[in-house]
Structure 1
Amino acid sequence: MERFSAKLLFIFFTALGLMLGGSIIGSLSALLTGHGPQRVMLKLAREIKIWAIVAAIGGTFDSLHILESGILEGEVRAVAKQLLFILGAFTGAHLGYIIISALGSHQ
Protein backbone atom coordinates (compact mmCIF):
# COMPACT_ATOMS: atom_id res chain seq x y z
CA MET A 1 0.00 0.00 0.00
CA GLU A 2 2.92 2.31 0.65
CA ARG A 3 4.00 2.16 -2.97
CA PHE A 4 0.47 2.98 -4.15
CA SER A 5 0.18 6.04 -1.91
CA ALA A 6 3.66 7.21 -2.94
CA LYS A 7 2.74 6.94 -6.61
CA LEU A 8 -0.57 8.71 -6.00
CA LEU A 9 1.24 11.61 -4.31
CA PHE A 10 3.81 11.69 -7.11
CA ILE A 11 1.05 11.95 -9.71
CA PHE A 12 -0.81 14.64 -7.73
CA PHE A 13 2.23 16.86 -7.28
CA THR A 14 3.41 16.32 -10.86
CA ALA A 15 0.09 17.59 -12.20
CA LEU A 16 0.16 20.50 -9.74
CA GLY A 17 3.72 21.40 -10.72
CA LEU A 18 2.96 21.23 -14.42
CA MET A 19 0.04 23.61 -13.98
CA LEU A 20 1.92 26.10 -11.83
CA GLY A 21 5.19 25.97 -13.71
CA GLY A 22 3.68 25.95 -17.16
CA SER A 23 1.34 28.84 -16.45
CA ILE A 24 3.77 31.05 -14.54
CA ILE A 25 6.82 30.44 -16.71
CA GLY A 26 4.68 30.59 -19.84
CA SER A 27 3.38 33.99 -18.81
CA LEU A 28 6.93 35.34 -19.02
CA SER A 29 6.46 35.33 -22.77
CA ALA A 30 3.79 37.98 -22.26
CA LEU A 31 6.32 40.23 -20.58
CA LEU A 32 8.74 39.79 -23.47
CA THR A 33 6.08 40.54 -26.09
CA GLY A 34 4.34 43.39 -24.28
CA HIS A 35 1.08 41.60 -23.46
CA GLY A 36 -0.65 41.33 -20.09
CA PRO A 37 0.93 38.46 -18.13
CA GLN A 38 -2.18 37.88 -16.00
CA ARG A 39 -4.36 37.22 -19.01
CA VAL A 40 -1.78 34.93 -20.61
CA MET A 41 -1.26 33.05 -17.33
CA LEU A 42 -5.00 32.39 -16.96
CA LYS A 43 -5.32 31.38 -20.61
CA LEU A 44 -2.41 28.96 -20.30
CA ALA A 45 -3.87 27.46 -17.13
CA ARG A 46 -7.14 26.72 -18.93
CA GLU A 47 -5.40 25.28 -21.97
CA ILE A 48 -2.82 23.03 -20.30
CA LYS A 49 -5.02 21.49 -17.62
CA ILE A 50 -5.80 18.31 -19.58
CA TRP A 51 -2.17 17.97 -20.66
CA ALA A 52 -1.01 18.20 -17.05
CA ILE A 53 -3.35 15.31 -16.20
CA VAL A 54 -2.11 13.20 -19.11
CA ALA A 55 1.55 13.90 -18.39
CA ALA A 56 1.16 13.19 -14.68
CA ILE A 57 -0.27 9.71 -15.23
CA GLY A 58 2.46 8.93 -17.74
CA GLY A 59 0.38 8.88 -20.90
CA THR A 60 -3.15 7.72 -21.47
CA PHE A 61 -2.43 4.52 -23.37
CA ASP A 62 -0.97 2.67 -20.39
CA SER A 63 -3.86 3.74 -18.18
CA LEU A 64 -6.43 2.80 -20.80
CA HIS A 65 -4.79 -0.57 -21.34
CA ILE A 66 -4.82 -1.32 -17.61
CA LEU A 67 -8.46 -0.18 -17.39
CA GLU A 68 -9.42 -2.37 -20.34
CA SER A 69 -7.64 -5.48 -19.11
CA GLY A 70 -8.92 -4.88 -15.59
CA ILE A 71 -12.52 -4.63 -16.74
CA LEU A 72 -12.35 -7.54 -19.17
CA GLU A 73 -10.49 -9.82 -16.77
CA GLY A 74 -12.43 -8.79 -13.68
CA GLU A 75 -9.47 -7.16 -11.91
CA VAL A 76 -11.39 -4.65 -9.82
CA ARG A 77 -8.29 -3.64 -7.86
CA ALA A 78 -6.37 -2.63 -11.01
CA VAL A 79 -9.34 -0.60 -12.27
CA ALA A 80 -9.75 1.13 -8.91
CA LYS A 81 -6.05 2.02 -8.78
CA GLN A 82 -6.09 3.54 -12.25
CA LEU A 83 -9.22 5.53 -11.51
CA LEU A 84 -7.62 6.84 -8.32
CA PHE A 85 -4.47 7.78 -10.24
CA ILE A 86 -6.57 9.68 -12.77
CA LEU A 87 -8.52 11.34 -9.96
CA GLY A 88 -5.26 12.29 -8.23
CA ALA A 89 -3.92 13.84 -11.43
CA PHE A 90 -7.16 15.72 -11.97
CA THR A 91 -7.14 16.98 -8.37
CA GLY A 92 -3.55 18.21 -8.67
CA ALA A 93 -4.23 19.95 -11.97
CA HIS A 94 -7.42 21.52 -10.67
CA LEU A 95 -5.71 22.77 -7.52
CA GLY A 96 -3.05 24.32 -9.75
CA TYR A 97 -5.78 25.98 -11.79
CA ILE A 98 -7.41 27.34 -8.63
CA ILE A 99 -4.06 28.75 -7.44
CA ILE A 100 -3.39 30.36 -10.82
CA SER A 101 -6.90 31.78 -10.90
CA ALA A 102 -6.37 33.27 -7.42
CA LEU A 103 -3.04 34.75 -8.46
CA GLY A 104 -4.49 36.15 -11.67
CA SER A 105 -7.54 37.70 -10.10
CA HIS A 106 -5.65 39.94 -7.63
CA GLN A 107 -5.00 43.41 -8.89
Structure 2
Amino acid sequence: MEDRLIVSMIQCFFIAFGVIVGGTLIGCIGSYLTGEAPLTAMFRIAKSLRIWAVVAAIGGTFDAISNFEKGILDGSTFDMFKQIVIIVAAMGGVKAALLLFEWLLGEEVT
Protein backbone atom coordinates (compact mmCIF):
# COMPACT_ATOMS: atom_id res chain seq x y z
CA MET A 1 0.00 0.00 0.00
CA GLU A 2 2.74 2.47 0.92
CA ASP A 3 4.57 1.91 -2.37
CA ARG A 4 1.42 2.70 -4.32
CA LEU A 5 0.92 5.91 -2.32
CA ILE A 6 4.46 7.05 -3.09
CA VAL A 7 3.96 6.27 -6.78
CA SER A 8 0.71 8.29 -6.80
CA MET A 9 2.41 11.20 -5.04
CA ILE A 10 5.26 11.31 -7.56
CA GLN A 11 2.86 11.07 -10.50
CA CYS A 12 0.63 13.84 -9.15
CA PHE A 13 3.63 16.08 -8.51
CA PHE A 14 4.89 15.75 -12.06
CA ILE A 15 1.45 15.97 -13.67
CA ALA A 16 0.81 19.28 -11.91
CA PHE A 17 4.34 20.44 -12.78
CA GLY A 18 3.80 19.51 -16.43
CA VAL A 19 0.43 21.23 -16.66
CA ILE A 20 1.93 24.50 -15.45
CA VAL A 21 5.11 24.32 -17.55
CA GLY A 22 3.47 23.02 -20.72
CA GLY A 23 0.42 25.24 -20.51
CA THR A 24 2.50 28.31 -19.85
CA LEU A 25 4.94 27.66 -22.68
CA ILE A 26 2.24 26.84 -25.22
CA GLY A 27 0.16 29.81 -24.06
CA CYS A 28 3.23 32.01 -24.38
CA ILE A 29 3.61 30.94 -28.01
CA GLY A 30 -0.02 31.86 -28.60
CA SER A 31 0.55 35.25 -27.00
CA TYR A 32 3.56 35.84 -29.21
CA LEU A 33 1.56 34.99 -32.33
CA THR A 34 -1.17 37.46 -31.36
CA GLY A 35 1.31 40.27 -30.73
CA GLU A 36 1.14 40.25 -26.95
CA ALA A 37 4.26 40.41 -24.78
CA PRO A 38 5.21 36.75 -24.16
CA LEU A 39 6.95 37.23 -20.81
CA THR A 40 4.04 39.21 -19.39
CA ALA A 41 1.68 36.53 -20.65
CA MET A 42 3.79 33.85 -18.94
CA PHE A 43 3.04 35.32 -15.54
CA ARG A 44 -0.66 35.69 -16.26
CA ILE A 45 -1.01 32.18 -17.68
CA ALA A 46 0.97 30.53 -14.88
CA LYS A 47 -1.20 32.25 -12.27
CA SER A 48 -4.43 31.21 -13.95
CA LEU A 49 -3.40 27.56 -14.40
CA ARG A 50 -2.58 26.87 -10.73
CA ILE A 51 -5.93 25.42 -9.62
CA TRP A 52 -6.41 23.55 -12.90
CA ALA A 53 -3.05 21.85 -12.50
CA VAL A 54 -4.08 20.53 -9.08
CA VAL A 55 -7.45 19.35 -10.40
CA ALA A 56 -5.80 17.62 -13.36
CA ALA A 57 -3.24 15.95 -11.12
CA ILE A 58 -5.78 14.47 -8.72
CA GLY A 59 -7.91 13.21 -11.59
CA GLY A 60 -10.89 15.51 -11.21
CA THR A 61 -12.82 16.65 -8.18
CA PHE A 62 -15.39 13.86 -8.02
CA ASP A 63 -12.82 11.20 -7.12
CA ALA A 64 -11.49 13.39 -4.34
CA ILE A 65 -14.97 14.01 -2.98
CA SER A 66 -15.85 10.30 -3.06
CA ASN A 67 -12.61 9.45 -1.22
CA PHE A 68 -13.40 12.03 1.45
CA GLU A 69 -16.91 10.60 1.69
CA LYS A 70 -15.48 7.11 2.19
CA GLY A 71 -13.17 8.44 4.86
CA ILE A 72 -15.87 10.24 6.79
CA LEU A 73 -18.86 7.91 6.40
CA ASP A 74 -17.15 4.52 6.20
CA GLY A 75 -14.41 5.30 8.69
CA SER A 76 -11.64 4.67 6.18
CA THR A 77 -9.12 7.20 7.40
CA PHE A 78 -6.36 5.92 5.11
CA ASP A 79 -8.38 6.99 2.04
CA MET A 80 -8.73 10.49 3.48
CA PHE A 81 -5.05 10.64 4.39
CA LYS A 82 -4.06 9.39 0.94
CA GLN A 83 -6.21 12.00 -0.80
CA ILE A 84 -4.81 14.82 1.34
CA VAL A 85 -1.24 13.70 0.66
CA ILE A 86 -1.92 13.51 -3.08
CA ILE A 87 -3.40 17.02 -3.10
CA VAL A 88 -0.37 18.35 -1.19
CA ALA A 89 1.96 16.63 -3.67
CA ALA A 90 0.08 18.24 -6.57
CA MET A 91 0.37 21.63 -4.88
CA GLY A 92 4.09 21.00 -4.52
CA GLY A 93 4.34 20.38 -8.26
CA VAL A 94 2.56 23.66 -8.94
CA LYS A 95 4.86 25.53 -6.58
CA ALA A 96 7.95 23.93 -8.13
CA ALA A 97 6.84 25.01 -11.61
CA LEU A 98 6.15 28.54 -10.43
CA LEU A 99 9.60 28.66 -8.81
CA LEU A 100 11.12 27.51 -12.09
CA PHE A 101 9.48 30.41 -13.92
CA GLU A 102 10.53 32.83 -11.19
CA TRP A 103 14.14 31.70 -11.59
CA LEU A 104 14.02 31.89 -15.38
CA LEU A 105 12.26 35.23 -15.63
CA GLY A 106 13.59 36.95 -12.52
CA GLU A 107 10.20 38.07 -11.24
CA GLU A 108 7.86 36.70 -8.63
CA VAL A 109 4.72 34.92 -9.84
CA THR A 110 2.05 35.56 -7.22
Fold match (TM-score > 0.5):
yes
User: Can you give the 5+ residue segments of structure 1 that lack an aligned partner in the other structure?
Assistant: none
CA distance in 2, matches of 1:39, 1:52: 20
Runs of 4+ aligned residues of structure 1 deviating over 6 Å after TM superposition are: none
User: Can you give the 5+ residue segments of structure 2 that lack an aligned partner in the other structure?
Assistant: none
CA distance in 2, matches of 1:47, 1:100: 14
Q: Percent of aligned positions with the same letter in both sequences?
A: 36
CA distance in 1, matches of 2:25, 2:53: 14
Aligned length: 106
The one-letter code of the counterpart of 2:21 is L
Q: How large is the RMSD of aligned CA atoms in angstroms?
A: 1.2
1:105 corresponding residue in structure 2 = 106
TM-score scaled by length of structure 2: 0.90
Could you say what secondary structure the match of 1:27 adopts?
Answer: helix
TM-score scaled by length of structure 1: 0.92
The one-letter code of the counterpart of 1:73 is D
The one-letter code of the counterpart of 1:100 is F
2:79 corresponding residue in structure 1 = 78
